[in-house]
Amino acid sequence: MRSSGQFVRFLLGASSVLWLSACGTSAPAPVVLTSEAFPQESQYSHDFPVSASATCEAARRALLNSGYIIDKAKPEFVDGRKSFQPTPETHVEVEFHIVCAAFGKQDHRAVAFVSAVQERYALKKISTAASLGVGTLGALSLPVSSTDDALVKVASETVTDKSFYDRFFDLLTLYVNPDQEIPKGGYEDAGPVPPPKPGSLHVE
């Protein structure tokens, strides 16, 4: 029979083997996390020579000019979305998220942080099941199945196309007035922001 000291050493050895085995089989970090560089210069931000509230108001008008529906609008942020139909069986929604912050303690300079998310929906066949009650036969129920068409979300991506954001910032610049006043009639040269090109988006 083993002594109590030998038994304790046996348990410690077994625990060490199990711990090392668990460490050796741990899953690696996801590629999307290891590839996130957090660059100092970003395509998602742009500074303007007006206050934060004036910048967000200009962003709201720029989105409206491009056909976006405004979901939320505050002096410090704006959310908007727009629907696209690239093909009869595909539906795409682009959501804009804009946050305006003062540049340091300066009330006459602000930074607009912009990110857009593209969600894709595809038309798919969905099977549905129901029961049909037959009154003349008592409580008898017969299973009935049918197939319906429904839009199903197939992807959700953060837009990373730099030219997409450049076009928006160019339009936003037209709506920013150095005197912090947005022209009531808008700008004749301000055109709609086209959607990102297919295949130019990457998952963040």
**Domain coordinates in residue numbering, the chain:** 39-120+155-204
Q: What is the DSSP letter of 185?
A: T
Q: Which of 19-33, 48-62, 96-110 has the highest mean pLDDT?
A: 48-62
> Nearest Cα to 156, choosing from 197, 102, 119?
119
C-alpha distances in Å from residue 93, one per residue of 67, 132, 153, 159: 12, 38, 10, 12
Q: Which residue has the tokens 């959310």?
A: 79
What pLDDT, on a 0 to 100 scale, did the predictor assign at position 136? 55
What pLDDT, on a 0 to 100 scale, did the predictor assign at position 95? 97
What pLDDT, on a 0 to 100 scale, did the predictor assign at position 48? 93
What pLDDT, on a 0 to 100 scale, did the predictor assign at position 126? 73
Mean residue pLDDT of the chain comes to 75
What pLDDT, on a 0 to 100 scale, did the predictor assign at position 203? 33
Work out the average pLDDT over 69-94. 94
What pLDDT, on a 0 to 100 scale, did the predictor assign at position 138? 55
Which of 8-17, 72-81, 127-136 is least confident?
A: 8-17
What pLDDT, on a 0 to 100 scale, did the predictor assign at position 98? 98
Query: Which tokens in the block code for residue 30?
Result: 């996801």
> Nearest Cα to 113, choosing from 176, 193, 55, 50?
55
Query: Which residues lie below 8 Å from residue 28, measured CB to CB, with a gap of 6+?
Result: none
pTM: 0.62
- Give the Cα separation of 102 and 112 in Å (integer): 9
Backbone angles phi and psi of 82, in degrees to 5: -145, 145
Higher pLDDT among residues 21 and 46, named by residue: 46
Work out the average pLDDT over 88-117. 91
191, 168 Cβ separation under 8 angstroms: no
Work out the average pLDDT over 104-111. 84
At residue 80, does pLDDT exceed 60? yes
Q: What is the DSSP letter of 77?
A: E
- Give the Cα separation of 169 and 62 in Å (integer): 9
What pLDDT, on a 0 to 100 scale, did the predictor assign at position 108? 86
Query: Which tokens in the block code for residue 35?
Result: 């590839």
What pLDDT, on a 0 to 100 scale, did the predictor assign at position 43? 92
Query: Which tokens in the block code for residue 116?
Result: 């857009």
**How wide is the angle at C-alpha 50 spanned by C-alphas 47 and 111, nearest 5°?**
25
Q: Which CATH architecture has domain 39-120+155-204?
A: 2-Layer Sandwich (3.30)
- Give the Cα separation of 22 and 87 in Å (integer): 48
- Give the Cα separation of 95 and 68 in Å (integer): 9
Band (pLDDT 50/70/90 cuts) for residue 173 is very high
At residue 54, does pLDDT exceed 80? yes
Query: Which tokens in the block code for residue 103?
Result: 């540049």
Q: What is the DSSP letter of 37?
A: -
What pLDDT, on a 0 to 100 scale, did the predictor assign at position 4? 55
